[in-house]
Structure 1
Amino acid sequence: MTEQLVEEKPEPQAEPAAPAPALAVPGRGRRVLWAVARWTAAVVVCGGVGAGTAIGITALDRTDVPGLATESDGRWEYPQLKLPALPADRPRPFTEANDGEIHYADVRQLLLPAPAGATVDPKLDGGWVTEDRYLSGYGKEDRTRVKEALRDTALRHITARGWTTPDGTTTRVHLLRFASVAFADQFRTDALKAGEVDEALPAGVAEGAIMEGAAGDVRVPDVSVYAYQEKKPYGPEQTRWAYVHAGDTLALITQTRKGEALTVPFQQTVALQAQLLG
């Protein structure tokens, strides 16, 4: 079963916008999303920027997103995804009319929704969150450095959503929107040091490793993803996390589960969030 990613079109202010049946991307040909039977949610592909791991969705059309659960592969059932309407005369990022790769839509509407059956964290319900709330997701030894970097990179907003699924996985998704793509990239490389020895690690994680070896044929054009997992030996639970860099916006996705974090829903969640930002 496949999901439809549709785009809301702005209407006159007197009436709400009606979602278009398919996502139209200016300046790009229509593309058909590969959703073959062997599709394994959203799979990590080596070869991202620096030491990162690229992952995404091969979308020729951006209308069908393989996000619904199946009985065999462990995917979660997400609601239908749609892109929010844009302000008048504002283009989507990664189009010829948007050289700055700016997300003009309300970034809160670009957050991935919780899947079916999940319990949403009331403190991370899709609204704005403070810097301190975001920083609490890092180990204490990294928070000062990350906080200083946020102040130096023209951060505009942080929004977040969190949930826990019946399988015991706790998911947190933060979206950080900066004043420009350059500031977003600076924060990722200088503060987070993603993929480096001294990278900022999630709270409770002593050492991380780049996720490799999960081959796949899915990508999101113009979006870079860096995926990691907590290195063994770890405690009673394992954490996996990923950064999604899309123009002026950076997403941090973390999943923690007792015993071992599950690969398929992690890859699926990261890929769907990347699709919303791409």
Structure 2
Amino acid sequence: MTEQALTPAPPAPSAPAPVEETAPAPVTEAEAASAPAPKPKRSRRPLLLGIARWTAAVLVCGGVGAGTALGITGMERTDVPGLATESDGRWDYPELALPALPEDAPRPWTEGNAGEIHHADLRKLLLPAPAGATVDPRLNGGWAGLDSYLALLPQKDRGEVKEYMADSALRHVAARGWTTPDGTTTRVHLLRFASVAFAEDFKDETMEAVSKSSRLPLGVEAAAIDTSLEEVDVPYLSLYAYAETEPHGPEQTRWAYIQAGDTVGVVTQTREGGTPTVPFQQTVGLQAQLLG
């Protein structure tokens, strides 16, 4: 199977966003199949005032294993993440492509995949580090334990989330982290669940907790919806983004949840003095495309 080139999606001037699915220590397909089906929780209640959610119309892909290319037409070079000029603040990501699929396995949101399952290797759906970044050897794009995700949260929330995950048929967690020369540290976690129902339930529970100022990233005491991502519009995904509000400590944190079918992606960025908007837009947008 061949890989199809993925054209980066344009960043946004300003707006919010959230999640997609995930996955921890591998679980066999047989175990996944025998897992009790959750009660579908497809609540669409507003969890945060003004939160933006983009769920696009259905696109049907052609051949089995063919990538869903996100073409960009009529745009200037400076509008395309990864093809920007040096002065606009975008990072230099390598050319992206959707990974090949196992034979006869459909991509999510295509005919024959009503369960919105990602059949591709979850590790190959992780966004690569941009040029010049130093990769975290503990989060190098491979499988990661649930503890690597829990480390993003305050100690007081870890037990509750760990217990929740144990009941939520979490199948795998893949992660990559890096630090760029400007001091921005990025962590990307992909959590893949046994079904879209479990992934959506996790997203709903997390959004509700965040709305109550719980389950905020480690070191964050108060946050607001980050409206810088309103132009990041990838079909079928739910996207939520937040930024730590002033006054904050030496570092500021931005983070986003991307729910795409059976997978939830969590993108977290921190930097001393403040996290820049453009790289956050670009990073979340590109990761969303890889999951979409």
TM normalised by structure 1 equals 0.81
Task: Report what 1:257 is aligned to.
Answer: 271
RMSD: 2.7
Task: Report what 1:84 is aligned to.
Answer: 99
Q: By how many angstroms is 1:132 displaced?
A: 1.5
8 Å CA contact 1:146, 1:192 repeated in 2: no
Instruction: Return the match for 2:191 from 164, 176, 195.
Output: 176
1:44/1:220 CA distance change after superposition, 3 Å: farther
Q: 1:248, 1:239 → 2: CA distance?
A: 26
Q: 1:255, 1:174 → 2: CA distance?
A: 12
Structure 2 spans left out of the alignment, 5+ residues? 19-43, 60-67, 73-78
1:34/1:177 CA distance change after superposition, 3 Å: closer
Q: By how many angstroms is 1:42 displaced?
A: 3.9
Task: Report what 1:224 is aligned to.
Answer: 238
Instruction: Return the match for 1:62 from 70, 73, 92.
Output: 70
Q: 2:231, 2:216 → 1: CA distance?
A: 28
1:244 aligns with 2:258: yes
1:260/1:46 CA distance change after superposition, 3 Å: closer
Q: By how many angstroms is 1:43 displaced?
A: 4.8
Q: 1:239, 1:95 → 2: CA distance?
A: 35
Q: By how many angstroms is 1:45 displaced?
A: 4.1
Task: Report what 2:52 is aligned to.
Answer: 53
Instruction: Return the match for 2:129 from 104, 114, 119.
Output: 114
TM normalised by structure 2 equals 0.77
| Matched residue type, 1:219 | D
Greater share of residues in helix: 2
Q: By how many angstroms is 1:186 displaced?
A: 1.0
Structure 1 spans left out of the alignment, 5+ residues? 1-9, 11-17, 24-32
1:84/1:43 CA distance change after superposition, 3 Å: farther
Q: 2:222, 2:99 → 1: CA distance?
A: 37
Q: 1:42, 1:217 → 2: CA distance?
A: 4
1:19 aligns with 2:17: no
Over the matched positions of the two proteins, sequence identity in percent amounts to 56
Alignment of 1:131-142 (within 5 A): 131-142=146-157
1:194/1:103 CA distance change after superposition, 3 Å: farther
